[in-house]
Structure 1
Amino acid sequence: MRVTIDDDWTATVTGDPLHITPRFDFRDFRVRVAAYAHVEERGRFLLDTFGSQPWLWDTPDELRFDRAGRELVGAEFQFPGVEAADAEDSARVPATPLPHPCGLRADEVRDFRLEVTSELCRAPGDAVLTCLRDLDVLDEPLDARVGIAADVALLVQHGTVVGWSLTDPVRYLTTGFAAPDPAPPVPATRLLFTDCLDVITTPLLDEVRERNPAALARLREIDKALRAQREDRHRADALLSLIGNLVEDYADRPTGQNP
């Protein structure tokens, strides 16, 4: 199967997905599937590979390929920085076809641009986060879900990549380049994860920024619950990396002082 990613740039689906654990950096709201462990290694990785990458003020999503074999060796995706799609649209995300573990091989050694998605769809319980090029994608079935890594899939429609998804996102919570906790998340973390997503992907975030008393009270409740959680500290701290900043900027700062 051949897929188009950017106009006339194509890649062929192969049999081997990436054997790299995804990292969901909650503070930066992005997913990394790559072996680099810090900024310096990331810089060398970008120099040694080709594909879609940031350039000056342009920050597309990233798919990186080995120059010798043209095989996919890493990816980085940004969640849309907008309000999540409503429940009705999210419910329209098709359940099929199921993700099929695959790799990608570039059809030629040439850079391209992978546009950042614009729509975030949340499944019930946030079991899957799906990011789409636009909501028109939901009007027709998908051709395939190309599972490029564990629980990470590219969505293909009419032969073109139109989005991506992360299944069981709470499992992969971390900050920066750190590896996620290999132990499964506890139920309390799953509930708090949904609470945190409610803060940053619904109108609640606007209410926080406007210092609405009820919204700030809810934000403080979530912050307190995260700090009090004894189990699953790595994931709780990952959620706190963003929620704690919001508390500091809006709930703790005196009215009239901009963050």
Structure 2
Amino acid sequence: MRLTLDGDWHATVAGDPLRSTPRFDFPGQCVRIAEYADVEEWQRFLGETFGSQEWLWDAPDELRFDQADRELVGAGFRLPYWSADAEDSARIPATPPVRPGGLRADEARDFRLEITTELCRAPGDTVLTCLRDLDVLDAPLEARIGIAPDVALLVQGATVVGWSLTDPARYLTTGFAAPDQAPPSPATRLLLTECLDIVTSPLLDEVRGRNPAALKRLRTLDHALRNQRGDRHRADALLALISNLVEDYADPSAAREP
């Protein structure tokens, strides 16, 4: 299958998927699939590869390819800030199934991969599906290409229209750190759902507007994360963003103007 990613930029589904464990950087609201472990290694990685990448004020999604064989060697995806309603999320098709595969760029030149705009959440947030727009749901998907463990590209009309992450709680972490290898606790799964409610619109808009009910919910979540026993690496990843929201909007010393 030959895919279109940016107008006249194409890649072919070929080879093996990435073997790197996904990292769901919750404070950064992004998913990374690559071997680099810190900023220096990330910068070196960018210099040795080509594709779509962050540049100054521009922050597209990332697909990086090896300069020599043009094979996919890394990826990074940003979560949308808008959470689709339950009715639209329920329209995500169950087919086709995910088929593992890598990508090979048709040519070695950079391109720009637009970020997705709609976050569709399965019940219990067992799967996060991020779409270019909700119009994608009006037609069947052509393919789901599993480019890494639990990460798939969604294809419609030979064009990449989104991506998905299965079992996001398993991959929670911060920055470039590897996720905990132990499975997430049931409490962590429940807290992830509450956190995703808070950090996406429309509820995020209520937090920023200092709606009393929303701020109470935010403080309750902050307390629960601080007092969770066990699975601390994942709890701390969630807390890193939630505590910032508390400081900015729910702390008594915070400014009262929106």
Residue pairs, 1:188-203, within 5 angstroms: 188-203=187-202
Aligned partner letter, 2:65: F
Maintained 8 Å contact 2:31/2:78: yes
Offset at 1:43? 0.7
Q: What CA deviation, in whole Å up to 9, does each residue of 1:91-136 have, x standing for no partner? A: 1111111111110111111111101111111111111111111111
Residue pairs, 1:163-178, within 5 angstroms: 163-178=162-177
Distance 2:109 2:237 in 1: 36
What's the counterpart of residue 237 of structure 2?
238
Distance 1:206 1:87 in 2: 18
Maintained 8 Å contact 2:99/2:145: yes
Residue pairs, 1:179-194, within 5 angstroms: 179-194=178-193
What's the counterpart of residue 49 of structure 1?
49
Gaps of at least 5 residues in structure 2 are none
Distance 1:4 1:256 in 2: 46
Residue pairs, 1:89-128, within 5 angstroms: 89-128=88-127
CA RMSD across the alignment = 1.3
What's the counterpart of residue 73 of structure 2?
73
Distance 1:218 1:17 in 2: 40
What's the counterpart of residue 255 of structure 2?
256
| Identical counterparts, % of pairs | 74
Distance 1:13 1:100 in 2: 10
Give the SS at the match of 1:147.
Answer: strand
Offset at 1:7? 0.9
Find runs of 4+ consecutive structure 1 residues off by over 4 angstroms.
none
| 2:23 maps to 1:27 | no
Gaps of at least 5 residues in structure 1 are none
Maintained 8 Å contact 1:2/1:10: yes
Bigger mean CA deviation after superposition, 247-256 or 87-96: 247-256
Offset at 1:209? 1.8
Offset at 1:257? 5.2
Aligned partner letter, 2:85: D
What's the counterpart of residue 58 of structure 2?
58
Offset at 1:62? 0.5
Aligned partner letter, 1:3: L
Maintained 8 Å contact 1:17/1:147: yes
Offset at 1:231? 1.0
Maintained 8 Å contact 1:11/1:104: yes
Maintained 8 Å contact 1:12/1:107: yes
Question: Given the two structures, how large is their TM-score scaled by the length of structure 1?
Answer: 0.96
Q: What CA deviation, in whole Å up to 9, does each residue of 1:64-88 have, x standing for no partner? A: 000111100000000112x211111
Distance 1:107 1:183 in 2: 39
What is the aligned length? 258
Distance 1:69 1:223 in 2: 47
Residue pairs, 1:194-233, within 5 angstroms: 194-233=193-232
Offset at 1:255? 5.4
Give the SS at the match of 1:223.
Answer: helix
Question: Given the two structures, how large is their TM-score scaled by the length of structure 2?
Answer: 0.97
Q: What CA deviation, in whole Å up to 9, does each residue of 1:219-244 have, x standing for no partner? A: 11111111111110000000000001
